[in-house]
């Protein structure tokens, strides 16, 4: 597939577009993780821009090599530290675009990245800031998508730049949005309102706390509760057990808002998932732990004792890391569970009734959010725009029409899904006065047509001759070349 992409991009994308269901497991989960692990061994030619933390003076020029201010709409950036469930992959993170370096890579003679432990602290922060400011200078209208940053960096980087620029972290916000959309659909099926639900999150890293944030924002938005009040409906479990305020020295900044008062749990066992489930009696159990088989029969059946339709999402991937198999969850709950997973699974069956297992895949979310951000040229991407995107995704869930259908639309419908999400994002940007693009249609149908007209299709186009002086760096094949060697600058 990589070889095809290098030889004929139109054919590559048309194959994916026309056969997305068959190709998705090859170009995405689960194959993608293996490809990233072997990036240095499979390397053919550089694709994208590589920046060196020890050569920060060159960052601005490296960024500027890719075109003029209007040439770049979207920048996807990764530091490769926390890839899927396989941890730090260093330079292999380019294929996506753990707290310690992957030593197998460090000792691999073919590894293409720096052979040393990761840089931390002020030097790392300056590196990220130099990158962000360089992008803003070279491409002032571009939207930045952060991908697979490490646990201790992802949230704080997002928190720092979200009030300043249009940016998005897929692991924090994308995972949160798609999971929340599935919960909204499950709420419709179970007939329990979001603001009345109790949530237990098993695994409170980047993805887990990102999901918690989206749930909290949505509860506050829908019910009028404060965010602190909404947060009281969420119990987070991680390596130290239930997050408690007394454990604050062991918690990340993202986990701290979900730490419970110790007095609530005085005399109660809180060091394992089963004990927490017994006490909380959750409507929703979500796993992002990468700890396989931790949603045991006892845990699932304990949960099912207290709610009619337990909502259970084992989201860890790749597949070998999921917290429970949907078939087991379905059997243990006698077909009552509403299930979504992090990887594709076949339908499950009970008493002759078949139930579709939804896949909580970020790829149905971030393309639409990015499309809306790019087309509106939004200055910022606040939580309200993500809530709008999530509602747009939830509105397309098949389960709204058939309770035995999936809680999320299929990834094969991603183009139409993206139109609806982009429309919601653009409308919210206009409502809040954040759009820099003018003449955006007001009418829903006109807006959808306007969005579709600007979406790329994998079609061969006739060549058009342009004068060299007016051609872009991409047209002249000079994108990625040093400014001093680009003819437009000569």
Angstrom distance (rounded) from CA 462 to CA 481: 26
Residues paired with 169 in a beta bridge = 146
**Catalytic residue chosen out of the listed positions 5, 39, 100, 216:** 100
- Tell whether 317 is in a known binding site: yes
The answer to whether 132 and 60 are in contact (CB under 8 A) is: no
How far, in Å, are 6, 42, 149 from residue 11 at the CA level? 10, 21, 32
Residue of 5, 12, 28, 123 with catalytic role: 28
β pairing state of 143-146 and 74-77 = parallel
Distance CA 62, CA 131 (A): 10
Contact present, 65 and 483 (Cβ < 8 Å):
yes
Fill in the DSSP letter of residue 489.
G
479 — phi, psi (to 5°)? Answer: -60, 130
Widest CA span of the chain, in angstroms?
78
Residue 100 annotated to the active site: yes
Element (H, E) at 332: helix 326-332
Residue 147 assigned as binding residue: yes
3-state secondary structure (DSSP) of residue 83: strand
CB atoms within 10 A of CB 23: 16
Is residue 143 part of the annotated active site? The answer reads no
3-class SS at 6? helix
Nearest to 339 by CA among 433, 168, 347: 347
**Distance (Å, rounded) from C-alpha 480 to C-alpha 66?**
5
Q: Is 52 annotated as a binding residue?
A: no
The reply to whether 62 sits in an annotated binding site is no
Does the annotation list 171 as a binding residue?
yes
Residue ranges of the annotated binding site for a divalent metal cation are 147-148, 171
Residue ranges of the annotated binding site for (S)-malate are 317, 361
Residue ranges of the annotated binding site are 147-148, 171, 317, 361
Catalytic positions are 28, 100
């Amino acid at each position: 597939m990589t070889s095809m992409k290098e030889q004929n991009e139109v054919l590559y994308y048309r194959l994916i577009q026309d056969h997305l269901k068959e190709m998705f497991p090859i170009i995405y989960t689960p194959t993608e993780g293996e490809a990233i692990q072997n990036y240095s061994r499979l390397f053919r030619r550089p694709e994208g821009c590589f920046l060196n933390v020890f050569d920060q003076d060159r960052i601005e020029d490296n960024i500027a090599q890719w075109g003029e201010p209007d040439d770049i709409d979207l920048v996807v950036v990764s530091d490769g530290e926390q890839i899927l469930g396989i941890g730090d992959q260093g330079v292999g993170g380019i294929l996506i675009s753990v707290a310690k370096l992957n030593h197998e890579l460090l000792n691999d003679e073919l590894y293409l990245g720096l052979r040393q432990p990761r840089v931390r602290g002020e030097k790392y922060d300056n590196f990220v800031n130099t990158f962000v400011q360089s992008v803003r200078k070279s491409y002032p209208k571009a939207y930045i998508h952060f991908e697979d940053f490490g646990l201790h960096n992802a949230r704080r980087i997002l928190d720092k730049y979200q009030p300043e620029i249009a940016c998005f972290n897929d692991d924090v916000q994308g995972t949160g949005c798609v999971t929340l959309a599935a919960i909204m659909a499950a709420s419709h099926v179970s007939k329990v309102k979001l603001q009345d639900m109790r949530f237990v999150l098993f695994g409170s890293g980047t993805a887990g706390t990102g999901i918690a944030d989206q749930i909290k924002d949505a509860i506050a938005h829908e019910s009028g509760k404060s965010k602190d009040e909404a947060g009281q409906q969420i119990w987070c479990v991680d390596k130290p057990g239930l997050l408690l305020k007394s454990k604050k020295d062991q918690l990340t900044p993202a986990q701290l808002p979900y730490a419970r008062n110790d007095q609530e749990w005085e005399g109660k066992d809180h060091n394992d998932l089963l004990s927490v489930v017994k006490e909380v009696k959750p409507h929703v159990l979500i796993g992002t732990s990468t700890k396989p088989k931790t949603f045991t029969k006892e845990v699932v059946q304990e949960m099912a004792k207290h709610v009619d339709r337990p909502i259970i999402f084992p989201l860890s991937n790749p597949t070998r890391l999921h917290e429970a198999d949907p078939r087991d969850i379905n059997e243990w709950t006698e077909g009552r569970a509403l299930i979504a997973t992090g990887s594709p699974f076949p339908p499950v069956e009970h008493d002759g009734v078949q139930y579709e297992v939804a896949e909580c895949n970020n790829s149905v979310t971030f393309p639409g959010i990015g499309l809306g951000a790019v087309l509106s040229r939004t200055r910022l991407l606040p939580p309200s725009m993500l809530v709008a995107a999530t509602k747009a995704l939830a509105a397309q869930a098949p389960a709204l029409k058939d309770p035995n259908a999936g809680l999320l639309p299929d990834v094969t419908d991603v183009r139409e899904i993206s139109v609806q999400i982009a429309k919601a994002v653009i409308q919210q940007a206009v409502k809040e006065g954040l759009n820099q693009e003018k003449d955006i249609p007001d009418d829903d149908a006109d807006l959808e047509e306007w969005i579709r007209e600007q979406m790329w299709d994998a079609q061969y186009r006739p060549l058009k001759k342009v004068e060299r002086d007016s051609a872009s760096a991409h047209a002249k094949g000079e994108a990625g070349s040093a400014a001093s060697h680009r003819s437009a600058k000569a």
